[in-house]
A = this chain, B = another copy of it.
Amino acid sequence: MTTERLPSWRPGATRDAILGYLDGIGDVPVEDRVAYLDNDGTMWCERPHYVQYDFFVDVLRRLAPDDPTLAQRPELAAVLDNDAAKIGELGLAKVAGALAALCDGQSPTEFAAVVDDFTERYRHPTLGVPLASLVYRPMLELVEELRAHEFTVGIVTGGGTEFVRRISPGLYGVPPERVVGTMIGYELQRDDDGRPVLRRTMASMGTPNEGAAKVAHIQSQTGRAPIVAAGNSSGDKEMLEWAQASPHGGLAILVDHDDADREFAYQSKAATFQDDEPVTAVAQRLGWTTVSMARDWEQVFPPAS
């Protein structure tokens, strides 16, 4: 029986480079076969908004009618007014922080229930599809191919870890402990019966998981160094360089969003990268494997069900 490998990928140099690398992996000990894949824009669509941004906006819209004070805070007012200029002026990081703080005081179980409620209702604002249909089919096939080569696969996100942990087992088969993102803080409190309960708090949030922090966090949170990494943004640069520099010889994959017809066409830039150089130029200069969505992917999304 022959099963076609990477069936949604078009034949060509990119597919050959990836399969060629994986087929040469035999000399690398299994415990060192580690892959970390960025989530937003690499595993699933991040336009027009990050899904996690839509999630927190949803949380806000459901809370706002019962709490008029929320609309008095500039960051939240800008979101409620859908005022892109104002959000840009305040800075997305500050706005995202104010949104995430809406979940302060929730236990992990409560937060998980809020995430589940959102993901069940979610439809993409322009594509009209549910969450699972935003996952790039070729990337899921890459995950399968990595596993067929005995890789341990993890997911990286610049957003909050706990949100992605809630969706990663179902969408990617990646367990919570292999999701590395920006860490929320927790405080141990006691309920009325004196039993311990964890409560979310933005007061002890971790460093935003972008740029060099992605590398430090993958190592410190999971004790693993990737030899395969995939990203799509200049905020993934250090992680991709790190994987590439592995003593085993690494593979750095950049997903290039160059397909306005089937997805979105843009260059993704992170605040951790100060230069004007487009990330695709960085990829070429450093010898990464660039995946052109337009050229290399026969299908982008899963078939409509």
Contacts and interface: CB of A to CB of B under 8 A. Distances in A.
Given A177-B221, A212-B188, A195 B108 contact: no
A183 B176 CA distance: 18
Interface stretch (A20-28, A73-81, A240-248): A240-248
A169 interface: yes
Given A31-B169, A108-B225, A195-B241, A220 B177 contact: no
A249 interface: no
A108 B215 CA distance: 12
A180 to B, nearest CB: 9
A179 B245 contact: no
Contacts of A169: 31
Contacts of A245: 195-197
Q: How many copies does the complex hold?
A: 2
A278 to B, nearest CB: 20
Contacts of A223: 108, 161-162, 165, 176-177, 179
A33 interface: no
A224 interface: yes
Given A186-B220, A196-B245, A198-B242, 8 more contacts: A31-B169, A162-B223, A183-B221, A184-B220, A186-B216, A196-B212, A196-B241, A196-B242
13 contacts: A162-B223, A176-B223, A177-B223, A183-B220, A185-B216, A186-B215, A188-B212, A188-B215, A196-B241, A196-B245, A197-B245, A198-B216, A198-B219
Interface of A: 31, 108-109, 152, 154, 161-162, 165, 169, 175-179, 183-188, 195-198, 206, 212, 215-216, 219-225, 238, 241-242, 245, 247
